[in-house]
Amino acid sequence: MRSNKIIVLGGSFNPLTKAHGKIIKYLVNFFDAEKGILLITNKIHNHSINNFNNKEILPIELRIKILNEFIKQNKNIELDLHEIDDENSTTYKSLNYLKEKYKDDEILFVIGSEKLQNLDKWYRIDDILKDFKFIVVKRNNGVLNRIINENSFLKGHEKSFIFIDPSFDLTGISSTKIREYLYKKDEKDLEKLTYDFVINILKENNYL
């Protein structure tokens, strides 16, 4: 019997990488979760948080098409378009929307450890951490320990974090690298970073 946990991985998925896929599948299995949810962020959020240029943002329809293909292959993972439908959404609003939608489940929100340093700047982060736990995927343990020990905000909310050290290497896998290889038309290196079906969809839409 599966637990009543739901793993939520948010992001622009611009585009989907093997790191995204490995993380959500690993965590759903690790926590024996009911499901995983990919929460794709909206265009406004992309600009304000990631500082993308318009040319760097793949069309939302294309990103959704790629994610839909991924969830076809992974039946216990779903796509949620809340932040596409609500252009003014924030992490606070999105998590409370999911909490209302899945009233009997525990929502666990995934972030990479590199996000911790600026977490205190997130909108209504104190309220978020009162109601939700964050799964923190470790990247560099030495740096991570120093960040937590030197940050009074993180130390004060330590019980809200679940630290996970995945059994696979995520080094060098990023959507930014994929976009660089797309620009160079470098299909061979793309194969190291994302799935064949992603490359095929990008080809079909003249991005490669």
pLDDT tens-digit readout, 97-123: 999 999 999 999 999 988 998 999 999
- Kindly state whether residue 20 falls inside one of the protein's structural domains: yes
The more confident residue out of 192 and 44 is 192
Q: To the nearest whole number, what is the mean pLDDT of the chain?
A: 89
- CATH assignment at residue 137: 3.40.50.620
- Kindly state whether residue 196 falls inside one of the protein's structural domains: no
Using CA atoms, how far apart are residues 139 and 80, in angstroms rounded to an integer? Answer: 26
Total structural domains in the chain?
1
- Kindly state whether residue 39 falls inside one of the protein's structural domains: yes
- Kindly state whether residue 96 falls inside one of the protein's structural domains: yes
- Residues recorded for the chain: 208
Q: What is the pTM of this model?
A: 0.90
Using CA atoms, how far apart are residues 27 and 146, in angstroms rounded to an integer? Answer: 25
Residue 44: its pLDDT value, please? Answer: 46
Closest by Cα among 160, 80, 176, 82 to 116: 160
Residue 19 has pLDDT above 70, yes or no: yes
Radius of gyration of the chain (CA): 17
Q: pLDDT tens, 24-78? A: 999 999 999 999 999 998 654 444 445 445 556 789 999 999 999 999 999 999 9
- Starting at the earlier edge strand, list the strands of the sheet with 133-137: 77-80, 35-40, 5-11, 106-112, 133-137, 161-164
- Kindly state whether residue 104 falls inside one of the protein's structural domains: yes
Residue 56: its pLDDT value, please? Answer: 67
- Kindly state whether residue 137 falls inside one of the protein's structural domains: yes
- Kindly state whether residue 189 falls inside one of the protein's structural domains: no
Please compute the mean of the pLDDT values over residues 197-207 and round it to a whole number: 93
- Kindly state whether residue 114 falls inside one of the protein's structural domains: yes
Highest mean pLDDT among 110-124, 136-150, 164-178: 110-124
Residue 46: its pLDDT value, please? Answer: 47
Residue 169 has pLDDT above 90, yes or no: no
Residue 202 has pLDDT above 80, yes or no: yes
Residue 55: its pLDDT value, please? Answer: 56
Local confidence band at 87 (pLDDT 50, 70, 90 cut-offs): confident
Residue 49: its pLDDT value, please? Answer: 47
Q: Which residue range forms the structural domain that includes residue 124?
A: 5-170
Local confidence band at 140 (pLDDT 50, 70, 90 cut-offs): low
